[in-house]
Amino acid sequence: MQPGLIWGCARTADGTRLIEECDEADEASFRWLHLNLADQRTLRWLERQPPLPRAINELMLSRDTHQQAIVEDGIVGLVLQDFERDFDAAQTMQIGALHIVITPDLMLTGRYHPIRSADVVKQRIAQGIDVCDGAAALGLVIGAMADGLSQLVRAVAVDIQTAEDEFLNEHLSPATRDLMAIRRRAARLHRMIGGMRAALHRLETDPDLPPLLAPVAEHHVQRLHALDADVAATQAQLRMLRDELDLQTAQRTNQNLYVLSVMSALLLPATLVTGFFGMNTGGLPFAHTIGGTLVAGVLAVAASGATWLLLRRRG
């Protein structure tokens, strides 16, 4: 495989097929090359190709993961976020970026770290999906990203519903650490989806955007808008669950404080009686009688009982 090329495909008269070299299938009407931007040989290969506009070239090689879109001289440049994958995990929660450049007959995508959507796209192409032009290629890669994000949104929603059911039906309070992890995932998804939607919206409204790509951008802006609404609903559901948990905790705390207050009110008169008879002063009542302790105890219990009756009477 040619240095820097992770995988590629070419659209020929026989359909779309995977290729193993950057310069393979020169007769193809459209080619898509997925490159490893961390490989210095990729940079040297790009330098040998027809020059891209400066802004597009900087966008392609930038390590910035901020989602953005540029159209210059009929060439489209995009940076879209996706979750990275690792050797022992198909998907991590680490956010990476896919750099995209679309020309009339060539689409270049690149990444510095492996990302999930690129593998999904390759599998779909191997299964026979036809990539005839830049619009089909852009729709395929954004669709793969949106599908992955949609699965994660559903997973977050299921986790919240499970926690809600346990709380409402089984009276089990979810662990705060678990809820914080769900909130972190939901916030990350909201930022990714919102940023992708904003980038595609800027692309859609750019007057220099090739007409072939406009329907793709419009379609996925609407899809991402619906997906972002699902994330917002999930976050609202999580906030309601947190509010209910906080209310339950506050009620439990208030109940404990109430019990402690009642106990303090009942013990205070008894404490006053025992404190009075515990003074080392002359002439203390019952100090020299056999039943003094019993009398003091009866007075303490009577004082607490009177306090209890008074509290009951006042509600």
Q: Which residues of the chain form beta strands (DSSP E)?
A: 5-12, 15-19, 30-36, 68-72, 75-83, 95-102, 106-111
In this structure, the answer to whether residues 56 and 159 fall within a common structural domain is yes
Report pLDDT for 195.
93
Q: pLDDT value at position 88? A: 61
Is residue 256 situated within a structural domain?
no
pLDDT of 152 reads: 92
Q: Are residues 236 and 308 in the same domain?
A: no
pLDDT for the residue 91? 60
pTM for this entry:
0.78
Residue 282 structural domain:
278-313
C-alpha to C-alpha distances, 153 to 7, 193, 227, nearest whole angstrom = 29, 10, 8
SS3 132: coil
Contact in structure between 34 and 109 (CB atoms under 8 Å): yes
Encoded tokens for 65: 């993961």
The amino acid occupying position 100 is: I
Residue 253 resides in a domain: no
- If asked whether residues 211 and 166 sit together in one domain, one would say yes
Q: Which residues of the chain have pLDDT under 70?
A: 1-3, 87-92, 170-171, 282
* Contacting residues for 77 by C-beta, under 8 A, at least 6 apart: 55, 56, 59, 60, 69, 70, 71, 99, 100, 101, 102
Interior angle at CA 46, CA 65 and CA 215, nearest 5: 60
181-193 confidence digits (pLDDT tens): 889 999 999 999 9
What confidence score (pLDDT) does residue 3 get?
65
Q: What is the DSSP letter of 84?
A: B
Question: Do both 97 and 185 map to the same domain?
Answer: yes
Model pLDDT, residue 209 = 92
Residue 109 is given by DSSP the state E
Measured CA to CA, the distance from residue 183 to residue 65 in angstroms comes to: 22
Residues 286 and 148 in one domain: no
At residue 70, the pLDDT reads 93
